[in-house]
Amino acid sequence: MSHLSTAQTAGQVIVAGFAADGPSPALLQLARSGELGGFILFRRNLRTPVEIAEQNALLHSCAPDQVPLWLSVDQEGGRVARLGAPVLKLPPMRVLGGIDSPELTQSAARVLGRQLALYGFNLNFAPVLDVDTNPANPVIGDRSFARDPASVIRHARAFAAGLAEAAIASCGKHFPGHGDTHTDSHLALPRLPHTRERLTQVELAPFAALARELPCIMTSHVLFESIDAERPATLSPLIISGILRRELGFSGLVWSDDLEMKAVSETYGVAQAACLAIEAGCDQVLICEHEELVHAAHAALTHRAENDTAFASRLHEAAQRSRQLRARYAPPQIDAAQIARALAAEDSATIEQRIATASAGAVTV
């Protein structure tokens, strides 16, 4: 880290999305100059297996030193699945929770992880650790494994273990719990009035159980009134540095959810939110769509670090933690010419059939 400039240190904490037509030359140059921590890909960026493999090989080639970039994706299953066939088609996590076979959950995640690795991904933003206690929740619902914390813990642990077996970093989300909200944080700021006792028993339980096992945890843009009545979790030192770090003992990488979501962007703006998230204890900030906001956040982080020694120290800590973890998840060499054959060798059909057969007699939990 000692060889990095302030601008490079600031860039290491940013992971960026890009438009459907691919990353711009300016964004690629930001990565080549060491001023970007990686990329997140969405369905708009993912076409045929060969095109995906070629694009991902290009993105990884932008890493300026021996530390790989993050190449990440949301591939939970159900309605949150960016990659289509021939990648394993998983049902919503609720189905796996209903089957209640952690062995099957782990096997499915292992096959999925091997396929993601073949494409060059090294991070999957899964599993969901939210407990689905609100049937009217517009954003979580069947993305959760279950309506009780014990089942969520059991299957989230298995899912993360399966990804780890394939050398894919997992990321538990959305801390400290998005399962009981009535509002979609993509559109507005959800608020939860629950007491700390209730939060400890339900929302926090999966995170507490897995805090010392997961490499990454993602925050939620939810305001928890009994803990911090002013700032959503992503921007709250009381929640991230206080509860996640000190109380639960999490030492891995803390990710913000997408800072372009209206729950934070409408009040703070993306650039200010990036600074507040790092100050609160996040190590990596996601800016998922608009390149101009990536550059604005980078400039804001750099400026703040150049004028605030305490913030510069926190930024250095975040960048160092990111680089240390990324070094453990170097992707295999991507062979675009052989990608279809390699993907076909992963037996998706067997797993899909096992899930279909088991789910026919399962009880939703």
Cβ contact 130:138 at 8 Å: no
Q: What phi and psi, each to the nearest 5 degrees, are found at residue 283?
A: -110, -20
| List 186, 290, 303, 308, catalytic entry | 186
Question: What does residue 14 show for φ and ψ, rounded to 5 degrees?
Answer: -105, 130
Question: What H or E segment, with its residue span, contains residue 77?
Answer: strand 75-77
Token couple for 82:
């960016």
User: Which parts of the chain fold into alpha helices (H)?
Assistant: 6-12, 25-32, 49-61, 93-99, 102-119, 149-165, 196-201, 205-210, 262-268, 270-280, 291-307, 309-326, 339-345, 348-359
Identity at 40, one-letter amino acid code: I
Torsion of CA 272, 274, 278, 284, to 10 degrees: 180
CA distance 260 to 365: 33
Question: Among residues 74, 132, 257, 258, which one is catalytic?
Answer: 257
272: nearest Cα among 244, 250, 301, 308: 301
Does 257 qualify as catalytic in the annotation? yes
Whole-angstrom distance, CA of residue 56 vs CA of residue 198: 43
Nearest-CA neighbor of 116 among 91, 147, 81? 81
- Do residues 72 and 125 lie in contact, with contact meaning Cβ atoms separated by under 8 Å? yes
- Which residues are known catalytic residues? 186, 257
